[in-house]
Amino acid sequence: MEVPSFPFLGAAAVAALLYALSPRRGWRETVLLIANTAFLLTFVHRPLEAIPYAAFVILGFGLVRMIGAGAPKAAYVASIVGIVAAFFWLKRYSFIPSALFLPGPYLLVGLSYVFFRVLHLAIDAREEPTIGRIGPVQYINYTLNFTALVSGPIQRYEDYRRTAVEAPAALRLAEAGEAIERVVAGLFKFMVVATFISMAQKKLAGAFHHDTALTAKAADAALLTALYPIYLFFNFSGYTSFVIGVARFFRIELPENFNQPFRALSFIEYWNRWHMSLSNWLKTYVYNPLLMVMARRVTDRRLMPYLGAIALFVTFFLIGVWHGRTSNFFFFGILNGGGVAVNQAYRVWMNERFGRKRFAELGKRPVYQFVTRGLTFAWVGFTLLWFWSDWPELGSYAGPLGAGGLAVAAGLLLAGSCLGLGLLQGLRVAALRPGIAGQPILTSRYVRTVWVTLMLMAVFAVQTVMHAAAPDVVYKTF
């Protein structure tokens, strides 16, 4: 079953009505268990395809319970290594000999996000006994939560247990209205905006190979590079908004995944605003432990400020590797890790040279923000070339351009990013200025109601009149 989609929304509505029939914990956990299992089975064509997936989930449960029961350190380390190895094996990473893989197709949807949840439980069970005593129903409902199974967001078990098990949040009329608004906004982003951007990108890609003038090809290449981050944002944030709204009817408060990422003034800030649940997970379980280990071993105080750059490189290199099994994702990880590492080193150097106060004042200047915002977006677009494409396809674009054309395309990308985002920022400030009683008119309940209605009409128009098929969730394949 596709997410977002009207069939998914209908099935979720039925499950939410059943869930609301009784406040009893056992009833609600049972309804969630049935909904989670039924949703996962919609992706299974033959029973045998589900066996590896089920084995991974069962293995994770056994290891979490074993660790929670006080397993020795050697068994704990072996368990963590085993979970990671099983994930790499099932995902068929290229560094594993293909002869070791299981033959034939099998279920993989959402496995990356199940992996994060299982690994989180296993690591935290060593320090938190209540996590190690998780029951089978709660374990399945958490790891296979149908609202976030396909592509997250990645929710910590403590937050899930608090809102869905121990003290479910109230769902009054106001909260239900906000949830519906999130669902409609998600559908609009995903089914309308992302659809049209995808169509434009495909048309532009075709035009690139037909244009003969070098300047036209360079302009096409720059626009192609800039379009994909925008498409990915509306695709993924639309999905996220949709599932956050749906989950709210089951008293589950999924974490936010996006916070206006294209307003970021640095690559580090961008990752603090983009796919935030993934960034926060890796900060907790990779960056912080790695930084602590290095800090204990480095005695030269002059190097201490730069340890963060090294830890950031490793963390965001792993983000790239997690996204895919091939060499282009390996390089994608290098570009992301290199971007945040250089960004951190630049911050340290500027603070040392000018002091924190003067550097902070520099960061508030409009011209500085104009350049850094555009530079950040341009780097994001450049790194994502290895996300949506592969080496042969990139060669088909780079070859006809040559060194001169690539330089022109890079210049156009940077200039266009600065100008475009600067204009959008100015329009945003101007649009939010008019207000009543201290509240911007555009964020008032009445304007939002009109806007939600228009978005819903646009969704139905695209789906029924134009018969335009929405693109798939990009992160579904990871």
Question: In 167-213, which ranges are continuous DSSP H helix?
Answer: 173-187, 194-208
Print the SS3 string covering 97-147.
CHHHCCCCCCCCCCHHHHHHHHHHHHHHHCCCHHHHCCCHHHHHHHHCCCC
Q: How far is CA 4 from CA 11, 129, 183, 261, 470, in A?
A: 12, 37, 9, 22, 9
Q: Before 440, cis peptide (omega within 30)?
A: no
Closest-CA residue to 176 (of 116, 248, 282, 233): 248
Q: What pLDDT, on the 0 to 100 scale, is given for residue 476? A: 75
Q: Is the dihedral of CA 94, 99, 105, 109 positive or negative?
A: negative
* Cα 44 to the center of its chain, rounded Å: 25
The pLDDT tens digits along the chain (478 residues) read 889 989 999 999 999 999 999 989 999 999 999 999 999 999 999 999 999 999 999 999 999 999 998 889 999 999 999 999 999 999 998 888 889 999 989 999 999 999 999 999 999 999 888 898 999 999 999 999 999 999 999 999 999 998 888 877 778 888 899 999 999 999 999 999 999 999 999 899 888 888 678 888 999 999 999 999 999 999 999 999 999 999 999 999 999 999 999 999 999 999 999 999 999 999 999 999 999 999 888 877 778 888 999 999 999 998 888 887 788 889 999 999 999 999 999 999 999 999 999 999 999 999 999 999 999 999 999 999 999 998 999 999 999 999 999 999 999 999 999 999 999 999 999 988 888 877 888 888 888 899 999 999 999 988 887 766 667 888 876 6
How do the domains of the chain map onto residue ranges? 6-166, 261-432
At residue 325, the pLDDT reads 76
CB 98 within 8 A of CB 259: no
**Cis bond leading into 129, ω under 30°?**
no
Instruction: Report the pLDDT value the prediction gives residue 303, as an integer from 0 to 100.
Output: 81
